[in-house]
Amino acid sequence: MDRNPAQPRDWRIALTITVVLRVFYSAVAALASLFVHPTPGLIRTNGLTDVLPPPGGWHYALLGVWERFDTLWYLRIAERGYDLPGAVVFYPLYPWLIRSLSWGIEPAAAALLISTIAAFFYFLGILGLARGEGAEISAERVVLLAAVWPASFFLFAGYTEALALALIVWCIAWARAQRWAAAAACAVAAGLTRSAGTLLIVPLVVMAARAQRGGRRWLLFLAPLGTIGYWLWLRQSGRLSIAAAYRAYWNTDVAAPWTTLWLAIRSLGQRFESLVVISLLTLTLFFIAGVLARRRAEDRWFASAVIGHMLLRVCTPPLFGAPRYLLPIYAAYLTMGDWVTSLSRDRFRLLCAALLACNLGWMWAFLSWSLVL
């Protein structure tokens, strides 16, 4: 792994998974478009539903049905820029890419194409990371777990998940190969994609400290420039800061991690919320598999940083969207791949089928506008 982040065989595996899932999710969405009829009270909460495409026809089944929640914001930013104050919470790289491709294809198609290509590189990168852990872990099982994990359908939606995850795993892969310039470039781009991308400075510093002397390790300190540059641009252009926009437009504020956890637990004592339970269980699992498990130091530190970053975000109800925000913790999949190595093929297939069923349940809620994200 340290010398060759991607093996030729892995390209075929990643491509196969990407094509199969792209076709599968597109078929599911097209079928769902025939039955999903969200109520106006649900979709009005997004704020941009005046531009929703009308249901019906192949165009809606293939593209319009994916225009949900944050996707509408990315499409608007790609078309009009940051003309609405609440839009600043969406980082610019993804809408820039959409705009760059929109000269040849529809913006919605461009968004799905970017996500699909990024998903391929994410699968390819996580295969390489898994192979770098040694023969005791099945790389194929690791990537399959990542591919069917609940909320992983976002990799094929008009969201930044695939782009951010691809940049994260390749940043780690290049850093382990001591290709510091490539690692720093991925980190800068990740910071322009999502705020969590800035957290890559944590594992990069750990790896740079452990690496042999020489090289251009100093380049790693450029990693936060993507996020910092975006923040400076917001300030110089007279726009709201991201924290202020979250408070004013997204019912979200910053709090200590233990405060967020306490609010989630207390909310269950007041009223049972299945999504809060799912979020707490997912958080516990990723903490065990990503932080407490015996993984490389940089992997555990990055997992800790992602969890801490997510817990700084407090909203009502708390922890909603946690399964999606925890997807960048690639170390958890490595650990879970270790856990399932001894499973028989049939039992592993049954496990993947169960995870995919949960994933499709989330996807259905997403398409019907009934998922709190």
Secondary structure class of 105 (helix, strand, coil): coil
Q: Residue 134 falls within a domain, yes or no?
A: yes
Split at pLDDT 50, 70, 90, the class of 36 is confident
Q: Residue 47 falls within a domain, yes or no?
A: no
Which comes out higher in pLDDT, residue 103 or 136?
103
Domain region containing 238: 8-40+55-367
Average pLDDT over residues 204-225: 86
pLDDT digits (tens, 9 = 90+) for 160-185: 999 999 999 999 999 999 999 999 99
Secondary structure class of 315 (helix, strand, coil): strand
Residues 6+ apart with CB under 8 A from 127: 6, 7, 10, 13, 14, 139, 140, 142, 143
Average pLDDT over residues 116-138: 93
Considering only 60-74, 266-280, 319-333, 347-361, which range has the smallest mean pLDDT?
266-280
Q: Residue 3 falls within a domain, yes or no?
A: no
Split at pLDDT 50, 70, 90, the class of 373 is very low
pLDDT at residue 40, as a whole number: 62
pLDDT at residue 42, as a whole number: 64
Average pLDDT over residues 65-74: 93
Neighbours of 259 (CB within 10 A): 14
Which comes out higher in pLDDT, residue 214 or 81?
81
CA distance 196 to 282: 18
Q: Residue 50 falls within a domain, yes or no?
A: no
Residues 6+ apart with CB under 8 A from 126: 142, 143, 146, 169, 330, 333
pLDDT digits (tens, 9 = 90+) for 263-282: 988 888 888 778 889 999 99
Average pLDDT over residues 154-162: 97
Q: Residue 46 falls within a domain, yes or no?
A: no
Q: Residue 45 falls within a domain, yes or no?
A: no
Split at pLDDT 50, 70, 90, the class of 2 is low
pLDDT for residue 364 is more than 60? yes
Split at pLDDT 50, 70, 90, the class of 212 is confident
Q: Residue 260 falls within a domain, yes or no?
A: yes
Q: CA nearest 194: which of 151, 160, 228?
A: 160
| CA triple 302-122-361, angle to 5 deg | 90
Split at pLDDT 50, 70, 90, the class of 56 is confident
pLDDT for residue 126 is more than 90? yes
The whole model's pTM is what? 0.94
Q: Residue 2 falls within a domain, yes or no?
A: no
Q: Is the alpha carbon torsion for 317, 281, 350, 22 positive or negative?
A: positive
Q: What are phi and psi for residue 135, nearest 5 degrees?
A: -70, -15
CA distance 205 to 46: 39
Number of domains in the chain: 1
pLDDT at residue 39, as a whole number: 66
Split at pLDDT 50, 70, 90, the class of 1 is very low
Please give the helix or strand (H or E) that residue 252 lies within, else none.
strand 252-254
Instruction: Give the percent of the chain with pLDDT over 70.
Output: 93
pLDDT for residue 33 is more than 50? yes
Torsion over CA of 336, 373, 43 and 66, rounded to 10 degrees? -40
pLDDT at residue 49, as a whole number: 61
Which comes out higher in pLDDT, residue 113 or 369?
113
Mean per-residue pLDDT of the chain: 91
Average pLDDT over residues 78-92: 95
